[in-house]
Chain A
Amino acid sequence: MLYPDTVESEVLVHKPWFVVSIFAVVLALCLISNLTGTAMGELMRPVIGDPLQSGFYGRFAIALFIAVSFCLNVVLIGFAPLKVQIAVVWLETLLLFIAFSTTFNLSLPFIWEKLPFLITQGLVTTIYISAISIFFASLIAIVAAVAKLSNNGFAYAIASFYTSFFRGMPLLMQVYLIYLGLPQLGFLIDAVPAGVLALSLCVGAYMTEIFRSGILSIDRGQWEASRSMGFGFSLTMRKIILPQALPIIIPPMGNMFIAMLKDSSLVSAIGVWELTFLARTLGQSTFNHMEMLITAAVIYWLMSICLELIQSRIERHFARSKAR
């Protein structure tokens, strides 16, 4: 939360100028985009007659209807308590998304039919590739972060070359380089290990920077206190510095995890049967592309929501020692 002042400010959505201006904006937008041909037009048939014949009158009536209901909605939500506001706005946005996807005339039976396979094969593969990659990426990151902070020239050079190289190249290239390049050197590598390796190295490079800045954000005094008690480097790092850096790096790490979950879709390029690969191939034969793509998108989204929830739990856990 931002810093809340003790004086309640006026509710923005109840200020006449604000309501009038969003009203005008929504009205104008709806007028510009002719909605008579859409579901909205059908909805308004009792008022405007045949939507396609209604001309400017129909167009204006639809725009006015949308603008009025939008403003009414906004003003009413303004009266509700915070939690209700959040819930209502979430719900409405979600409904809009669902309304949007119904415009594709999705075939639900097809989705139901393919969903089990999409989950048991695609989702499971995505999750385990991501989980293994996150594990290795974290290991690489912590070592590289310490190396980058050390005054050992060799370690610094290797670590900074590594981060520069892997942050500087598209992940897709890395996937190809590893999958197609390693066999040239005599290492035969399967698609899944190649994908995991590419993801670990790439995400590890980003995480290195997160760890490094986390470690740097800890006050010098903590090092001094720890060293002055006789703790060695490794003990200080493990027991004093990292535990304090952890709460600081959790939000960017959560970000990283979510990004990586979705970046794992890039290994579909080398034929790993994960979520994106299946979403693209399952719908192909029957031209049900949209069904599979939207389903996969929702599955990715649900997984990300899980990660967000986990992140906020961890954040709450760490808030303990900070609370006054």
Chain B
Amino acid sequence: MIADKIIEAKDVSKWYGTFRVLTDINLTVGKGERIVICGPSGSGKSTLIRCFNRLEAHQEGEIIVNGIRLHNRMRNVAEVRKHVGMVFQQFNLFPHMTVLMNCMVGPMWIKGVPEAAARKTALRFLERVRIPEQANKYPVRLSGGQQQRVAIARSLCMEPAVMLFDEPTSSLDPEMVAEVLETMTSLARDGMTMVCVTHEMGFARAVADRVLFMDSGRIVEEGKPQDFFTNPRHERTKLFLSQILSH
């Protein structure tokens, strides 16, 4: 049973100075599960998922990722990050490398995969996100949607156990949102474990196993999408949903 838990957070709290960003977060993500986290701006969604690959440190509670406990003095944080893919709102591709190189460097430098094999893997995943023809371009030449799909491919090349998405579509034009969501949906269909921070409720409805609603650093509500959207229990959730679905 333990082996099936990819991420386990127990009573996690985090402060920025005296400001409590996360309060007693409890969350378990099983293998193959798709979790969507939503909530108002500043509620701590990004902070939470950034704790899962230790881009942020938590101060209280326990986070176990892929069987490794995250803490201040850990020496094997790279071991964790190797298995946790992350996709950012701002793509954060490496602008001085071609798209192909962006996808190859992870496996080559971290896993010691030989160049030819890395190239093959990279091309396979670029095809998977349907932009193999852009492989030799530099990232600035690509549209936002294409860049984000490259970023997804870059993470996939590491063959991660879980993918974290931090508002992957928030900085994209509407038609590009669709292409990125499509990619993410197909990933989900293939059984990838995913934790997505997003406000794309259509996506949440279609692929999520569970939807979490956060407010002021707490998980206020958690449920299957159909329950979550049709009869939310908390006032705060209702308000949020009415705002976000009203237009």
Interface residues of A (CB under 8 A from B): 219, 221-222, 224-232, 235, 239-240, 243-244, 320-324
Given contacts A224-B55, A324-B140, A324-B141, contact A229 B92 (CB under 8 A): no
Given contacts A228-B81, A229-B110, A230-B78, contact A244 B95 (CB under 8 A): yes
Asked if B158 CB lies within 8 Å of chain A CBs, one says yes
Asked if B203 CB lies within 8 Å of chain A CBs, one says no
For A231, the chain B residues whose CB sits under 8 A away are 78, 109-110
Contact among A224, A239, A243, A324 with B92 in the assembled complex (CB-CB below 8 Å):
A224
Q: Decide if A321 touches B95 in the complex (CB within 8 Å).
A: yes
Given contacts A235-B109, A239-B109, contact A321 B53 (CB under 8 A): no
1/0 contact trace for B80-99 toward A, CB 8 Å? Answer: 01101010101011111000
For A232, the chain B residues whose CB sits under 8 A away are 78
Kindly provide the distance from the CB of B143 to the nearest chain A CB, expressed in whole angstroms. 11
Contact among A227, A235, A240, A324 with B94 in the assembled complex (CB-CB below 8 Å):
A240
For A320, the chain B residues whose CB sits under 8 A away are 138
**How far, in whole Å, are A221 and B82 apart by their CA atoms in the complex?**
18
Q: Decide if B140 touches A321 in the complex (CB within 8 Å).
A: yes
For B90, the chain A residues whose CB sits under 8 A away are 219, 221
Q: Which of B144-159 contact A (CB under 8 A)?
A: 154-155, 158
For B79, the chain A residues whose CB sits under 8 A away are 230
Q: Which of B181-238 contact A (CB under 8 A)?
A: none
What total of chain B residues lie within 8 Å of the partner, measured CB to CB? 25
For A229, the chain B residues whose CB sits under 8 A away are 81-82, 105-106, 110, 154-155, 158
Q: Decide if A228 touches B55 in the complex (CB within 8 Å).
A: yes
5 further contact pairs, Cβ within 8 A, besides A219-B92, A229-B155: A224-B55, A224-B88, A228-B86, A230-B81, A322-B140
For A240, the chain B residues whose CB sits under 8 A away are 94
**How far, in whole Å, are A239 and B78 apart by their CA atoms in the complex?**
17
Q: Decide if B95 touches A225 in the complex (CB within 8 Å).
A: no
Interface residues of B (CB under 8 A from A): 53, 55, 78-79, 81-82, 84, 86, 88, 90, 92-96, 105-106, 109-110, 138, 140-141, 154-155, 158
Kindly provide the distance from the CB of A241 to the nearest chain B CB, expressed in whole angstroms. 10
For B110, the chain A residues whose CB sits under 8 A away are 229-231
**How far, in whole Å, are A239 and B109 apart by their CA atoms in the complex?**
10
For B86, the chain A residues whose CB sits under 8 A away are 225, 228
**How far, in whole Å, are A244 and B102 apart by their CA atoms in the complex?**
14
For B105, the chain A residues whose CB sits under 8 A away are 229, 239
**How far, in whole Å, are A323 and B78 apart by their CA atoms in the complex?**
34
**How far, in whole Å, are A323 and B106 apart by their CA atoms in the complex?**
25
For A219, the chain B residues whose CB sits under 8 A away are 90, 92
Q: Decide if B106 touches A221 in the complex (CB within 8 Å).
A: no
Q: Decide if B96 touches A227 in the complex (CB within 8 Å).
A: no
**How far, in whole Å, are A261 and B37 apart by their CA atoms in the complex?**
59
Q: Using CB atoms, name the residue of chain B closest to A235.
A: B109
Kindly provide the distance from the CB of A194 to the nearest chain B CB, expressed in whole angstroms. 39
Given contacts A228-B84, A229-B110, A230-B110, contact A221 B96 (CB under 8 A): no
For B53, the chain A residues whose CB sits under 8 A away are 228
- 11 CB-based A-B contacts, threshold 8 Å: A219-B90, A219-B92, A225-B94, A227-B55, A228-B55, A228-B84, A229-B110, A230-B79, A243-B96, A320-B138, A323-B140
Kindly provide the distance from the CB of B94 to the nearest chain A CB, expressed in whole angstroms. 6
**How far, in whole Å, are A219 and B93 apart by their CA atoms in the complex?**
11
**How far, in whole Å, are A128 and B125 apart by their CA atoms in the complex?**
50
Kindly provide the distance from the CB of B66 to the nearest chain A CB, expressed in whole angstroms. 12
Kindly provide the distance from the CB of B150 to the nearest chain A CB, expressed in whole angstroms. 12
**How far, in whole Å, are A100 and B86 apart by their CA atoms in the complex?**
66
**How far, in whole Å, are A243 and B90 apart by their CA atoms in the complex?**
20
Q: Decide if A230 touches B55 in the complex (CB within 8 Å).
A: no
Contact among B106, B141, B154 with A230 in the assembled complex (CB-CB below 8 Å):
B106
**How far, in whole Å, are A33 and B105 apart by their CA atoms in the complex?**
68
Kindly provide the distance from the CB of B7 to the nearest chain A CB, expressed in whole angstroms. 15
